[in-house]
Amino acid sequence: MPAAEGVLLRSVTMWLLLQSLLLLASCLCSVAAFPRGCYPSEEEGLKTFRCSNARLTEVPRDIPNDTNKLFLDSNRIPFLPRDAFRDLPLLLELDLSHNAIASVESGAFRGLAEHLHSLDLSSNRLVSLSKDAFNNLKAKVNLSNNPWLCDCRLQELIRTVDLVAGSSGGIVCHSSTQEEHVGKAFLQVIADTDFCNVYKKTTDIAMLVTMFGWFAMVISYLVYYVRQNQEDARRHLEYLKSLPSKQRRSEESSTISTVV
Cα–Cα distance for residue pair 131/127, rounded to 1 Å: 13
In a domain, 90, yes or no: yes
User: Cα 167 from chain centroid?
Assistant: 20
Q: What is the CATH number of the domain that holds 117?
A: 3.80.10.10
pLDDT of residue 60: 93
Number of helices followed by number of strands (H, E) in the chain: 5, 11
Residue 47 near residue 40, CB atoms below 8 Å: yes
Which pLDDT band holds residue 105 (cuts at 50, 70, 90)?
A: very high
Residues of the chain with pLDDT > 90, as a percent, come to: 55
Q: Is the pLDDT of residue 84 over 90?
A: yes
Q: Is residue 104 part of a domain?
A: yes
**Average pLDDT, integer, range 189-210:** 66
pLDDT digits (tens, 9 = 90+) for 126-182: 999 998 999 889 999 999 999 999 999 999 999 999 999 999 999 999 999 888 999
One-letter amino acid at 48 equals T
Verify that 87 and 36 share a domain, yes or no. Answer: yes
- Give the mean pLDDT of the chain: 80
Domain annotation covers residue 256: no
Do 64 and 164 belong together in one domain?
A: yes
pLDDT at site 34: 81
- Looking at residue 61, its pLDDT comes to 87
* Angstrom distances, CA of residue 125 to CA of 91, 146, 246, 247: 24, 5, 90, 87
- Tell whether 59 and 158 lie within a shared domain: yes
- For residues 182 and 148, give the distance between their C-alpha atoms in angstroms, rounded to a whole number: 10
In this prediction, residue 26 has a pLDDT band, given cuts at 50, 70 and 90, of: very low
Q: Per the domain annotation, does 129 fall within a domain?
A: yes
% of the chain exceeding 70 in pLDDT: 65
Domain shared by 163 and 51, yes or no: yes
- Identify whether 117 is part of a domain: yes
Q: What is the mean pLDDT of residues 80-91?
A: 95
Asked whether the predicted pLDDT for residue 9 surpasses 60, the reply is no
Helix runs in the chain, H state only: 2-33, 152-160, 186-189, 195-241, 245-259
Q: State pTM to two decimals.
A: 0.66
Domain-located, residue 14: no
Q: Of 133, 115, 126, whose CA–CA distance to 148 is shortest?
A: 126
Q: Do 92 and 115 contact (CB within 8 A), yes or no?
A: yes
Q: What is the pLDDT of residue 177?
A: 85
Split into its structural domains, the chain has a count of 2
Identify the domain containing residue 225 by its residue range: 194-231
Q: CB under 8 Å to 177, separation ≥6 — which residues?
A: 149, 150, 151, 195, 198, 199
Q: Are residues 104 and 207 in the same domain?
A: no
Digit-coded pLDDT (tens) for 202-242 = 444 445 555 656 656 767 666 666 676 776 666 666 665 66
Q: In terms of domains, do 101 and 130 share one?
A: yes
